[in-house]
Structures are given as structure tokens and as C-alpha cells.
Amino acid sequence: MLLPALVSIIAAILIVAAWYGVFLGLNRRRARRVLQWLERAILPHGQISGVEWLSPSHFRARLRLSGFAFRQPAVNAHLAPREMPVRWAAWCWHRNQETLTFEANLTSPPRHNMEIGRTRWTGLTRRWTRNTDAWPTHSVASLYISTQPEWEPEISGRLHTVVAAREVKFLDISFRTRAPHFSATFSLDETLGHESGELAIFESLRELAEGSPTSRM
């Protein structure tokens, strides 16, 4: 009885180790693709000054950019935790997505904190059908929800800038009084699949950061 149990335990350990090694290598290859895209995106305005792995599925690339109002810029890449089966299953169950987060300090910190999130709702008014081409669609006005007790009109300009950003679809944008002063999160898959990704994303980030009404710049 003891020998079969021991064999089963060893086999399970070997399977988990093999899984970990294979998918760790997959994440490393995906990370190299992200870094190659990042290098193309910042040329000739900067370079990657260092890469730090914070976990098997999370790394941080420090940047050196010239001509931008960013201090200590960096990009955090959150990949799917493929190397851990249970975590990956939970990650897929919650329909999470791989993301890139650009963060940096600003020359003049914002006067107050500001969080901008983008959410899209879809719904059906009739019985579901496989023929999606026949679905009627309707465009509606943007709905802004603010946690501030009084709406500040100057914030509208910054929100419209985010909505009008066609090159990159931001998932979340933050302005903070403490470091990092500015951060923007976007989908990794959409970014890597963007044909005009070179530098366009950083131009959009600069518009958001330099034109922010929350900043004293």
C-alpha cells in the first residue's frame, strides 16, 4: 500500500513540476514579445533601462524617456498565471485579462486624486440567437459617474480625451498626489495586436498626463 501511494505522490510532483516548467517558459517567451514591442514603441525617444521579475507572471520594465514630462517611468506587465493550474483556472473563471500598466511621476504632482475607469455594458432585448449579424445595435451617450459631491466642469475635458483616444483603449487611468502620480492600464492583447502601436500609445499617455486639469503643471 505504501509503495503505490509513494509512486502516485512522485508522479503528481513530476506532473506539477513539468506543468510549471512548460508554462513558465511560455510566459517568458510572451514577456520577450512584450519587451520587443516596448522597445519599438519608445524608439527613438528612449530605451528600457532594466527589467525586474516580481513573480513568474508579473514583471516590471523601467524606462528612460526623453522629451516627455515623466519621471521614473515604468511598465508593469501582468500575464496570466499559467504556471499555477489552480490560479490559472480561477483567473480564467473570473475572465481576467492580461494587462500593461504604465506608471510615472509628474514634474508637478496633481492637487487631488482622480480615478477614471471605463466600463462597457451590453444587453439583449429578445431571445438569444447565433446570428449576431442580425442583432440591432444602438449608440448611446457616455455616462459619467463621479464620487465627488459636486461635479467639476474641468474634469469633463479630461474624460473626453480618454473617450476620444482611438489608438489605445484604456481600462483605467489614475492621478494621485503620491507616487506614482500617474498610471494607465490597458489590455495586453489589444496593444500587441495594434498595427500602429509604435509610440502612438506614449503620445496618448503624454496628452493625458500633461493636459490633466488636476496637475499644477
127 lies in a domain?
no
pTM of the model: 0.74
Short-list 50, 44, 99, 51, CA closest to 68: 44
Say how many domains are in the chain. 1
Cβ neighbours, 10 Å, residue 59: 20
Report pLDDT for 215: 47
Torsion of CA 119, 39, 63, 105, to 10 degrees: -30
Alpha-carbon distance 60 to 33, whole Å?
A: 14
Give a yes or no: residue 48 inside a domain.
yes
* 134, part of any domain: no
Q: Is residue 76 included in any domain, yes or no? A: yes
Do 184 and 208 meet the contact criterion of CB atoms below 8 Å apart? yes
Domain containing residue 177: 7-119+145-210
Domain contains 156: yes
In a domain, 110, yes or no: yes
CB-based contacts of 71: which residues, under 8 Å, 6+ apart?
A: 104, 105, 106, 107
In a domain, 103, yes or no: yes
Asked if the structure places residue 28 within a domain, the reply is yes
Q: Encode the chain (217 residues) as per-residue pLDDT tens digits.
A: 677 777 777 877 888 888 888 888 899 999 999 998 888 888 777 889 999 999 999 999 999 887 667 889 999 999 999 888 888 899 999 889 999 999 999 887 877 777 777 655 555 555 555 555 666 666 655 555 566 656 555 555 555 555 555 455 678 888 888 888 888 888 888 887 765 555 566 776 776 666 554 444 4
